[in-house]
Copies of this chain bind each other. A is one copy, B any other.
Amino acid sequence: MKKPSVLAFDVFGTVVDWHGSIAAEVAALIPTIDAIAFASAWRSGYKPAMAKVRSGELGWTRIDDLHRMILDDVLLEFGVKTLSEQQKKELNLAWHRLRPWPDTVRGLTLLKQDYTITTLSNGNLGLLANMAKNAGLPWDLILSAEVFRHYKPDPETYLGVCQIFDRQPIEVMLVASHKDDLQAAHACGLQTAFIERPLEFGPRQPRKDLHKESWTTYHARDFLDLASQLKTQ
């Protein structure tokens, strides 16, 4: 298969370690609670919240606002009553400060030499721009569900990347550590690269399914491995 010219990256989990970053911020701010469980609980509200937007039950709502709605619930659930409004606002911005995986910046820099690299994330544009500035992520373009007013895995997002760059779906590749995301991109005709990220869900989660699927174009340990596979192919 011909190599793609545009690589579109899922961000949460694929590019940055959301679980470790959130758990660290929570542990620093609220030392009395189980920060690992808190991080998992916060994230687990994410898909149901987006599903409400995707189904139309909720109008278009940015991830920053969904994160805040979920945070308020999780704080209640964990019995945290000591945070001021300013502290909650600040904690919600932890998602703008997620730390990259160790291979991320070097891997993206390598891939950028030969490909156009863009995000395709459900995170909002402001969040993704702040994260990139903070972590030094060298994107050629930041694309978000916010541009398409559709959340992944709606086809409008994957096909939207193709339209933005005037490319056929087969010329674009989604890079992600989530099989459902890749499967939806594959159904739209994009190439796909699965990145393992075994620790994405933190130290206590059941082992992630890292099985190589027959329908993925690439299966890589990390971004350096992907860059080397794309070079030597």
Residues of A whose CB lies within 8 Å of any CB of B are: 64, 116, 118, 124-126, 128-130, 132-133, 140-143, 146-147, 164-166
Q: Mind listing 14 A-B residue pairs with CB under 8 Å?
A: A64-B166, A116-B129, A116-B133, A124-B164, A125-B141, A125-B143, A125-B147, A125-B164, A126-B164, A126-B166, A132-B140, A132-B141, A142-B142, A146-B147
Roughly how many angstroms separate A11 CA and B166 CA in the complex, as a whole number? Answer: 21
Residues of B within 8 A of A129 (CB): 116, 118, 140-141, 164-165
Since A118-B129, A125-B164, A141-B142 are in contact, a sample of 18 more A-B pairs with Cβ atoms closer than 8 Å, ordered by chain A residue number, is A64-B166, A116-B129, A116-B133, A124-B164, A125-B141, A125-B147, A126-B164, A126-B165, A126-B166, A128-B141, A129-B140, A129-B141, A129-B164, A132-B140, A133-B140, A142-B142, A146-B147, A147-B147
Residues of B within 8 A of A116 (CB): 129-130, 133
Q: Hey, which chain B residues are within 8 Å of A133, CB to CB?
A: 116, 140
Bound-complex Cα distance A118 to B128 (A): 13
Minimum distance in angstroms from A221 CB to a CB of chain B: 27
Q: How far is the CA of A19 from the CA of B17 in the complex (A)?
A: 45
**Least Cβ distance of A114 to chain B in Å?**
12
* Alpha-carbon separation in the docked complex, A101 to B118 (Å): 25
CA distance A129 to B161 in the complex (A): 12
In the complex formed, the residue of B with least CB distance to A160 is B125
A196 to chain B, nearest CB (A): 28
Residue of B nearest to A130 (CB): B116
Q: How far is the CB of A26 from chain B (nearest CB, A)?
A: 22
Q: Report the bound CA distance from A125 to B140 in whole Å.
A: 11
Task: Provide the bound-state CA to CA distance between A130 and B164, in Å.
Answer: 11
Cα of A164 to Cα of B130 in the assembled complex, Å: 11
